[in-house]
Amino acid sequence: MTDSDTTPNSNSTPSPAQNSFEKASTFTQAIITEIKKVFVGQDDIIEQVLVALIGGGHVLLEGVPGLGKTLLIRSLSKCFGGDFSRVQFTPDLMPSDITGHAMFNAAKQEFEIRKGPIFTNLLLADEINRAPAKTQAALLEVMQEGQVTIEGESFSIDSPFMVMATQNPVEQEGTYPLPEAELDRFMLKILIDYPSAESEFAMLAQMSNQNSAGNFNLNPIKTLMQGKHIEELRSIAKRVTIDDEVLNYIVKLTRATREWSGIVRGAGPRASIALMSASRALALIRGAEFVTPDDVKQVLLPALRHRILLSAAMEIEGVNTDEVLRDISISVEAPRH
């Protein structure tokens, strides 16, 4: 691509040109600006979702109802000109409802494959913990390998592909815990908290000027990117320099979770990979050509909080995983150069 390339519906935002870290960073900031038009006061959350998208990972969004989890994902899909599918997870949802199934075509006198909503670019798995483990497991293959097996036949998913799942941490009735293998396949687990008073006021002021009843108007958001732009961003992120000392720092942080008092199950090697990919993506978003220890610290909590299991004693004392990870980040010395 050349410097004159532009993104869809935007004459002022250049697409991420090859070998251009600065232009790629400008492009990502433009995406963040578009999403902020409707998703107010959660800048860190927007950045973390974009980190997962550029890092080639999947996201688990957790927060009480009404904090805008689905709105954030819908806003991102509006910025993205590719395919978007939404699946409402319920207790009676079957794996074939997600992946697809074989159906007999009477006219042709043969079976044919009906592909499910998983064949998309951005998949919203809404309230994923409402479905039983058997249905949740339908996502395991596609999240790791980018393919789906239906009736013994494998089908590739078009790239880019990203699963964005939401869950409510408070209401436990009628929910099922996510299998550990599935949790480990999410690059980041992002916690959405209540907005500040100023942000909540800005949200109400925005809605008061819209002709809608409790719904956000996504029309102000421009479509800035197609699949090829995401692929370019991912390619550029992989070229962000990461020093051996920083890699060693990532390994030390991950291995510390396996030896820390109060943790009965530490993070595996996939956590180290997630830390590396996420810190590279974050560095790119912020306009840097190399990863710093601070970049690693910024993504430590969302990359590891769902990969460790605390002892019963720690949970009884009210200690949560984020507190333990903060202690680990303080105890593990970061490289100074």
Predicted confidence (pLDDT) per residue in 238-251, tens digit: 999 999 999 999 99
Q: Is there a contact between 190 and 299 (Cβ–Cβ < 8 Å)?
A: no
Confidence bin at 215 (pLDDT 50/70/90): low
pLDDT greater than 90 at residue 280:
yes
The stretch 38-48 carries a mean pLDDT of: 88
- pLDDT tens digits along 94-131: 999 999 988 877 777 777 888 999 999 999 999 998 98
Average pLDDT, the chain: 87
- Sorted by where each begins, the domain ranges of the chain are 58-186
Kind and range of the H or E run holding 52: helix 43-55
Pairing mode, strands 147-150 and 100-105: unpaired
Specify whether the CB–CB gap between 164 and 123 falls below 8 A: yes
- pLDDT beyond 50 at 319: yes
CATH hierarchy code of domain 58-186: 3.40.50.300
pLDDT band at 267 (very low <50, low <70, confident <90, very high): very high
Global confidence as pTM: 0.87
Whether 123 and 142 have beta carbons less than 8 Å apart is answered as no
Q: Buried b / exposed e across 168-196, counting CB within 10 Å, b at 16+?
A: beeeeeebbebeeebebbbbbbbbbeebe
Q: Name, of 34-43, 117-126, 272-281, 311-320, the range with top average pLDDT.
A: 272-281
Query: Using an 8 Å Cβ cutoff, are 56 and 86 in contact?
Result: no
Residues 6+ apart with CB under 8 A from 299: 48, 51, 188, 275, 278, 279, 282
User: What is the structure's pLDDT at 8?
Assistant: 46
Supply the DSSP string of 168-209, one letter for each residue: -SS--TT--PPPHHHHTT-SEEEE--PPPHHHHHHHHHHHHT
Per-residue confidence band for 70, with pLDDT thresholds at 50, 70 and 90: confident
Residue 99: the pLDDT is: 92
Question: Looking at residue 4, what is its pLDDT?
Answer: 41
CB of 61 closer than 8 Å to CB of 55: no
C-beta separation of 77 from 84 below 8 A:
yes
Most confident of 1-10, 134-143, 235-244: 235-244
- For 164-208, what is each residue's pLDDT tens digit? 999 887 666 667 888 888 899 999 999 988 888 888 888 788 777
Average pLDDT rounded to a whole number, residues 217-233? 87
- Residue 270 φ/ψ, nearest 5 degrees: -65, -25
